[in-house]
Structure 1
């Protein structure tokens, strides 16, 4: 199984620096977005659902401290500050607001990528051989049956895990209700159509609450799918 593609959001108004990071990160198979709307950085975080954020201090309209504070109101996604203002007071301020690391400009791109990868390993506890299914920023670990999104865990029951893993394993394909019920029978419990419906509805509510809106699509009379 392919390793998951990590999503990196760059909040940097120096386009030359941002594009240099983007080029380097893309070589390591990162999905990279550079923020364009500096009036609504949190909106771009919500729409892109990154696994990690690079955040400059000096930005148009609002500084990086403001955006770090705003992001921390709804997400624990790892944040690395990148700034030429690397004195102790700025580093302490960044860490107190919830940043995970601080890298002084100018920096070596290879060192930056190494720090990004190290922080991802610490944050998501992924070994290179992790058996993980990824979609829209959601990460389903098949080894320990955990689901995470934006650095936060989403608790799943056994049945919810089995439904979600079945759908994510065959992303883009419609899975019949009968196939899903067969997967649930692996728990040694008899499952009827009403039980399946209840489990699907509960799973959807959890996903919606976490920000994964319309993650599972219903094909009436056929089954369910996660659209690729």
Structure 2
């Protein structure tokens, strides 16, 4: 799984972007202290960096220049500054892309995906997620347990993938519907209930009970 570092001092925007990326299968590194950004980059070695220009201490241009002295990690400037000079500076100093706020989430995700593919052509996202001997096969859209396999629909795959990526945490129904919306798959409340029940039935067909638990008034948890 790819790690994306977010360097932005706006906590609300940082949290919103983090949620979006997590819902789409990325791991997140949030920079909270801005007096040692370079040290954090060297220590955590992210696969990609999302960098704002306006930061509390050194600005994004200087940070980008320092990172380029030791790393080729892809850098996307995501900023409210939208002049031609800002974009030119970003690219000249080593940035790989320049996105202005407010941004279209699907376009940002597409640019992130494109950069990661170019930078790491031999690496892929995890194709199989396993938990308690239940295996979710992303490429074949199926679940497997004890040598038996059942196919999933596109919605079922996305829902189970999201729940497994957040295993151990309660996931609300709203979170799941927003995740599907960001993935260009729309479901309403009733459709979500139907899909959850179908997933449960398919997992039970394989001999696994209570794989997805309901937390009344809160959501679901694996």
What residue is the counterpart of 2:46 in the other structure? 50
Give every structure 1 segment of 4 or more consecutive aligned residues whose post-TM-superposition deviation is greater than 2 Å: 126-131
- Correspondence 1:88 to 2:95: no
- Correspondence 1:99 to 2:95: yes
Structure 1 residues 128, 33: CA separation in 2 closer, same or farther (over 3 Å shift)? Answer: closer
| RMSD, aligned CA | 1.8
Q: CA offsets, 1:12-48, max 9 Å, x none?
A: 0111111111101111221101101111111111111
Q: CA offsets, 1:98-147, max 9 Å, x none?
A: 0000001110222211110111011112475999xxxxxxxxxxxxxxxx
1:41 to 4, 17, 37: 37
Is there any run of 5+ residues in structure 1 with no aligned partner, and where? 132-228
What secondary structure does 1:24 align onto? helix
Q: CA offsets, 1:196-217, max 9 Å, x none?
A: xxxxxxxxxxxxxxxxxxxxxx
Counterpart CA distance in 1 for 2:41 and 2:34 is 11
TM alignment of 1:1-228, pairs within 5 A: 5-126=1-122
Q: Is the 8 A contact 2:2 2:125 kept in 1?
A: no
Structure 1 residues 108, 61: CA separation in 2 closer, same or farther (over 3 Å shift)? Answer: same
Counterpart CA distance in 2 for 1:71 and 1:115 is 20
Q: CA offsets, 1:33-81, max 9 Å, x none?
A: 1101111111111111100000000000110001000101110000000
What secondary structure does 1:111 align onto? helix
Q: Is the 8 A contact 2:51 2:76 kept in 1?
A: yes
Is there any run of 5+ residues in structure 2 with no aligned partner, and where? 128-222
Counterpart CA distance in 2 for 1:38 and 1:129 is 30
What secondary structure does 2:78 align onto? strand
Counterpart CA distance in 2 for 1:32 and 1:83 is 18
Counterpart CA distance in 2 for 1:119 and 1:26 is 17
